[in-house]
Structure 1
Amino acid sequence: MPLISSNYVGNCQLVIDVGGTNIDIYRLKPNSFSYFLFDSLKSPNSGAELYILLSSIIGNFSADFLILGLPGPVHNNSSIVFCPPLGFSIDITLIHQKHPNLYILNDTECLSYVIVQQLLGANPLMCSNYNNTSGIICTIGTSFGLASYNYFQEVSSILVESFEIAHIPLILTSRLCEILKDSQFSEFQYLLLDQHYSQVLSGIGFKKLTSLPSFLLLMNKLYPIITVTSSIDAFSLLICELFVSVCQLFAPRSMSFILHGGVLNALDQDKLTSLFNHVFLTNNLKDVSLRFSCMQ
């Protein structure tokens, strides 16, 4: 689990987040502790192309502290990391040999560091700017990412840990499992009972589910008190229901969810927040909050 000091200030800090669709480059704001999205490049088609692109990006900056986020299990004690969203493997020793001052993290851990820094703002000691010093960051984009973060004020450091659940079957609430037994929702039994998080909570899952006419009916059956009138809002409701399972998995006393990713651009964030609050109250999870990353 990476523990990174949040008050490290160099001449130029650089964070490179490699995703399935884009490589996002974040730079440290002058005289600040927070980052801004500097550039976004199309992700390459091979490891060889990625090595060249990374060298080009890093070579354009005089950075004394760099973080690279890869969409794969970088902490499995292997130098070869397979990145499912990219479809190829990366030898991280080759990257380290050329760029020894580079921290290599899971992409969700990398993103967690950037987002938490952003939340802390210009002064990372002012934790009162937000309710929790720990929480969960979820990415819903080309794939699904999940990480926890803890900010330790006394040492001004951020501890982030990625949870590799993107490629395991969905964990469903008993309420949703019961409704899926209804024969009229048979088309969803494979989609929701056997598919992985990355196949549902992603751009692919969004397109697939919102194109099915009975998806709206399924979500209204799940929460009949709520009137959901569009398949887009129905997808928002599904996100909330699946997050109940995530929250129960971690069994927190309180939890702050932070959402990030391209799929959120298609959703009504105010509506998603309203649905989130209703779903979590219904499931007796009261000390849970939702916010959105401003790093889009």
Structure 2
Amino acid sequence: MPEGHTLHRLARLHHERYAGHEVAVESPQGRFAAGAAMVDGRVFESAEAIGKHLLHNYGPDRTVHIHLGLYGKFAEHPRPLTPPQGLVRMRLVGPTHWTDLRGPTACDVLTEEEVDALRDRLGPDPLRSDADPDKAWQRISNSRTSIAALLMDQRIIAGVGNAYRAEVLFRHNIPPLTPGKDLDEAMWKTIWDDTRELMEHGVRTGRIDTVRPEHEPEAMGREPRKDRHGGEVYVYRRALQPCLVCGTPVATAKLAARNLYWCPACQRA
């Protein structure tokens, strides 16, 4: 599932290409036909991301809400148009480009009240200027749940996924099963600031890179990571491979139906 930086990249791209223009919106597949008819021919006002949710704003009570889920993908193209290929849930056509959306978990039109309800049920997004990390801290500091699970709870922090969760805990030597209430506020602020910086890098580059300069392939004389997700990381999807810092095999386990990765030596309780 794409993490928050991917949705913020998409929001910036769509805003640059479509904002201020009348656009055509259709649903070749048919599953979004009624929603597409509500915004077809209107001016695309703006695009924004909140956590893993993308919002295309068309004015009062006309916001297209998209959650990609596990299988959703956007395909971006310059004009001219070509016929739809496969099951295209939504096609968005502007003056210079067009975008096809396939396989999202959600694609619907929300009212202003529904958008407000979405914002209210999500935690602060580290990539948004209006984020309040104290709101997340209030819940974390009173919870017996592990910090690894809390970081993945979109009601507490919006946009953080499995990769950023694993990497930020490793970078600060935090055992992933540490209860939230056992963190001190200074460490929470460090986690928040580092998560924000890592995700901002992801927005700029389109990759999840978390290793420090001294652990880059060139510095260590090792081969670059080969993984379809790209990016240089410490523990994410590196189960049983040697830790880049101490050489201990990276551990993995299931936590809340997701794979958890950590170094048993660097993140010792």
TM-score after normalising by structure 2: 0.29
Which protein has the bigger helix share? Answer: 1
Tell me the TM-score normalised to structure 1 length. 0.27
Structure with greater strand share of residues: 1
